[in-house]
């Protein structure tokens, strides 16, 4: 069974631009969560989607948004990029909800975003 895939793997943007990252979960998984990893702040939970609905949300500004499609694929969007948004963005999938059901998450390799 194929693992979680994320595209693109690397991305360079400039301040003020917006970016969309994509995540394809493991087949049969309905929950997709997004995380931001930086050297300064560590790993932080962004949000979780389940059956096309945002179920849980971390403490990030509204510039960070996401959505999930009927095939469970998910996209994350960051608008008006700031230098501090440079990070590794990780996506994880699970069969059911990661927060409510404490399901095991399977992580993708991440998308490394550099904002100049």
Partner 1 sequence: AQSVTQLDSHVSVSEGTPVLLRCNYSSSYSPSLFWYVQHPNKGLQLLLKYTSAATLVKGINGFEAEFKKSETSFHLTKPSAHMSDAAEYFCVVSSLYSSASKIIFGSGTRLSIRP
**Residue where the block lists tokens 């990893």:** 37
Contact between 4 and partner 1 (CB under 8 A)? yes
Contact between 62 and partner 1 (CB under 8 A)? no
Q: For residues 91 and 33, what is the distance between their CA atoms, to the nearest angstrom?
A: 6
Which position among 2, 10, 28, 42 is part of the footprint of partner 1 (CB under 8 A)? Answer: 42
Residue 62 half-sphere exposure toward CB, CA atoms < 13 A: 0
Which position among 33, 68, 72, 74 is part of the footprint of partner 1 (CB under 8 A)? Answer: 33
Which position among 11, 20, 22, 45 is part of the footprint of partner 1 (CB under 8 A)? Answer: 45
**Residue where the block lists tokens 């096309």:** 52
Contact between 73 and partner 1 (CB under 8 A)? no
Residue with smaller CB distance to partner 1, 59 or 70: 59
Q: In this structure, are strands 74-78 and 64-68 parallel, antiparallel, or unpaired?
A: antiparallel
Which position among 30, 58, 67, 79 is part of the footprint of partner 1 (CB under 8 A)? Answer: 58
Residue with smaller CB distance to partner 1, 11 or 58: 58
In order, the DSSP letters of 23-77 are: EEPPTT--EEEEEEEETTTEEEEEEEEETTEEEEE-S--TTEEEEE-TTS-EEEE
Contact set with partner 1 (CB under 8 A): 4, 33, 35, 42-45, 48, 56-59, 90, 92, 98-100, 102, 104-105, 107-110
């Amino acid at each position: 069974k194929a693992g979680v895939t994320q595209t693109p793997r690397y991305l360079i943007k400039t301040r003020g631009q917006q970016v969309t990252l994509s995540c394809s979960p493991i087949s049969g998984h309905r929950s997709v969560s997004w995380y931001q990893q930086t050297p300064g702040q560590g790993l932080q939970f962004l949000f979780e989607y389940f059956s096309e609905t945002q179920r849980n949300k971390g403490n990030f500004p509204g510039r960070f948004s996401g959505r999930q499609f009927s095939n469970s694929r998910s996209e994350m969007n960051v608008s008006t990029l700031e230098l501090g948004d440079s990070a590794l963005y990780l996506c994880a999938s699970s069969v059911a909800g990661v927060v409510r059901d404490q399901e095991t998450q399977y992580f993708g390799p991440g998308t490394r975003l550099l904002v100049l």
